[in-house]
Chain A
Amino acid sequence: DIVMTQSPDSLAVSLGERATINCKSSQSVLYSSNNKNYLAWYQQKPGQPPKLLIYWASTREFGVPDRFSGSGSGTDFTLTISSLQAEDVAVYYCQQYYDTPPYTFGQGTKLEIK
């Protein structure tokens, strides 16, 4: 199984500042035939199901604010929130969907306001 490791486990950022969450996979999730990274990011607020933010490592889902961006390739990925808003307080998860199951999640990163 591919192991996904996020860092840090928790993060406190001031309103308006940049937040950066990292995700590392135990093997590459870049599919050479189409040059796509099989990596998604989700946001989960308390008491709610997860919400898709980004897929193909860097494509924002429709309706997701452009302050959210994803980057990286191969085994190392980053979710960046360019200017933190109060409503961004949540737990963020990366997930790989490369090749065959299981499609594992990272352990989550809790984002709070400083």
Chain B
Amino acid sequence: EVQLVQSGAEVKKPGESLKISCKGSGYSFTSYWIGWVRQMPGKGLEWMGIIYPGDSDTRYSPSFQGQVTISADKSISTAYLQWSSLEASDTAMYYCARHEGGSNTWLDYWGQGTLVTVSS
């Protein structure tokens, strides 16, 4: 069974750093692109970027380029989303999801989400 299990909720202060994770199981983790999607409170879905864990090829949405870093450790089947300096506007639910085939395919399996709250 394909599963993406994300790390737990985080409460951080502005200016702090953070790295959240997404562990894949039940499939060949290195053979599928993993994407990250932001959902701000009460708002819609925003596509942030993707990574191919096989070679760490990474693509970002222009809206998120330079704001976050996507990485992966294929030895432990885990993808990451990290911030070096959080802002209150980063408060959101973050989902990882698997692209079904190549990068330009649909998102067929989703993690449960990680809620990030940034508040002083």
Contact = CB atoms under 8 A, between A and B. Distances in A.
B106 A108 contact: no
Given A40-B107, A49-B110, A100-B59, 7 more contacts: A40-B106, A49-B95, A50-B45, A50-B107, A97-B104, A102-B49, A102-B63
A38 interface: yes
A95 B44 contact: no
A77 interface: no
Interface residues of A, number: 26
Interface in A19-43: 38, 40, 42
Top 9 closest pairs, chain A to chain B, by CB: A102-B61, A40-B106, A49-B110, A55-B106, A108-B44, A105-B45, A101-B59, A97-B104, A107-B44
A103 interface: yes
A101 B106 contact: no
Given A1-B62, A38-B104, A103-B104, A49 B111 contact: yes
B77 interface: no
Dominant SS among interface residues on chain B: strand
Nearest to A6: B44
Nearest to A31: B104
A107 to B, nearest CB: 5
Nearest to A98: B104
A105 B50 CA distance: 15
A101 to B, nearest CB: 5
B69 interface: no
Given A40-B106, A101-B61, A55 B47 contact: no
Interface of B: 35, 37, 44-47, 49-50, 59-63, 95, 97, 99-100, 103-108, 110-113
A93 B44 contact: yes
B47 A51 contact: no
A17 interface: no
Given A49-B110, A49-B111, A107-B44, A102 B104 contact: no
20 contacts: A44-B45, A49-B95, A49-B111, A49-B113, A50-B97, A51-B110, A52-B106, A52-B107, A55-B100, A91-B44, A93-B44, A95-B45, A95-B107, A97-B106, A102-B61, A102-B62, A103-B35, A105-B47, A106-B44, A108-B44
